[in-house]
Chain A
Amino acid sequence: MLNTESLVLIEKNRASVRIIYDRYGGMLLGYLFEIVKDRNKAEEYLVKIFCDISQHFDELNWNDSSGWCQLQRFAKNSIKPLTGTSSLIKNTERQSLLNSDSDNKYPDHFSQEQHHIFYGIYYYGKSIEKISKELNRTEESILKTLKEAFSIMRNICEN
């Protein structure tokens, strides 16, 4: 149940949340779609995340780092209870790792390993430790591959 402070926050921050929605709503929907591979489900999660943001708006430090990075981290934690135990995420993860059918152009430029690492961390919230165990590699080499994946994406963006 909501406490009075949360309600005051909801009312107070409605305009600010609208600004965040206008700025990042599309990016967040694209991010969520990559996780669940279902537009309706992604929209449903988007609504839930923005409602959560309204209640916890002041806890997020919007000035300290990029708004998108804050939002992406918040979204990851917010949908974890919804997707964490469901088989949906495991199926979409498997599907995404085997064959990307979205408009996302980055996977074409990734090696299988880069794809596995980037998707595992960015979309499915896996820790470096977990991926290093999955791939039987050191954490240092996982971080290096992640950096390579970033460089590839940066180059694509710049071109």
Chain B
Amino acid sequence: MKINEYIESGVLEAYVLGSASEKETRELLYLKVKYPQIQEALQHLEIDMERIAEQMAIIPPAGTWSKIEAELNELVERRDFESTPIRRAPNRRGGNHRKSSQFIEVDASSSHMRVHKIWRWLFIGVFILGKIFLGFAIYFYLENRQLKEEMKKIKTQLEKYERQHDQSKFK
């Protein structure tokens, strides 16, 4: 390959300006490693480019860096805010909870609370036990009431018999 012809072809200039095709770029990157002349020519061109840009430079207004910093701070703050757990929307169905999550997350701005999955089964167990106890309570209450009524009846009958017995005694 004729290196000088390649250097003079203008491909190096196109590469430095960022308009070389992918194929040209690949070829150039390969050749610059192989041929030091190409590497050297490329470095000269880059220095030229820098010098040209220096001549056309405009001093940025005094507050430009502050604007960049403010923009960067905003990006960081926005992200921090978004990544805070209380910002997450509460999942009403509870189906998309991460399995590894072991904590209760409380959303300060919401009336909802997210809890560990295990609480679902505990709540179901407590509910069923509550129903069983309620059933027993009603059963024993009714039974107790019935017994009281029967006792009242027996007591009345007993009093009646006692009265009859006393009357027959006086006769």
Residues of A with Cβ closer than 8 Å to B? 1-2, 4, 7, 10-11, 14, 17-18, 21, 24-27, 29-31, 33-34, 39, 42-43, 46-48, 50-51, 54-55, 65-66, 68-69, 72-73, 76, 103-106, 121-122, 125-129, 140, 142-147, 150, 153-154, 157
Contacts and interface: CB of A to CB of B under 8 A. Distances in A.
Contacts of A26: 57-60
B164 interface: no
B137 interface: no
Contacts, number: 135
A10 B76 contact: yes
A10 B75 contact: yes
Nearest to B19: A121
B56 A34 contact: yes
- The 3 A-B residue pairs whose C-beta atoms are closest, nearest first, are A143-B10, A66-B46, A26-B57
Interface residues of B, number: 44
Contacts of B79: 1-2, 4, 7
A94 B58 CA distance: 22
B83 to A, nearest CB: 8
Contact of A29 (B13, B17, B54, B60): B60
A56 B42 CA distance: 25
B46 A157 contact: no
Given A1-B82, A21-B65, A68-B53, 20 more contacts: A2-B79, A7-B79, A10-B75, A27-B56, A29-B60, A30-B56, A31-B53, A33-B58, A42-B58, A43-B60, A43-B61, A46-B64, A51-B72, A66-B47, A68-B46, A69-B16, A126-B19, A140-B10, A145-B10, A153-B48
12 contacts: A4-B83, A21-B68, A26-B59, A29-B60, A30-B58, A66-B43, A69-B18, A72-B49, A103-B56, A128-B14, A143-B14, A145-B10
Contacts of B10: 140, 142-147
Interface of B: 8-11, 13-14, 16-21, 42-43, 45-61, 64-65, 67-69, 71-72, 75-76, 78-79, 82-83
B45 A150 contact: yes
Chain B contact residues: helix, strand, loop or mixed: helix
Nearest to B45: A150
B49 A146 contact: no
A55 B61 CA distance: 23
A46 B46 contact: no
B58 A157 contact: no
A74 to B, nearest CB: 9
A144 B7 CA distance: 11
A73 B18 contact: yes
Nearest to A65: B46
Contacts of A140: 9-10
B41 to A, nearest CB: 11
Contacts of A104: 56
Contacts of A30: 53, 56-58
Among B60, B71, B75, the one with the most A-chain Cβ atoms within 10 Å of its Cβ is: B60
Contacts of B55: 105, 157
Nearest to B55: A157
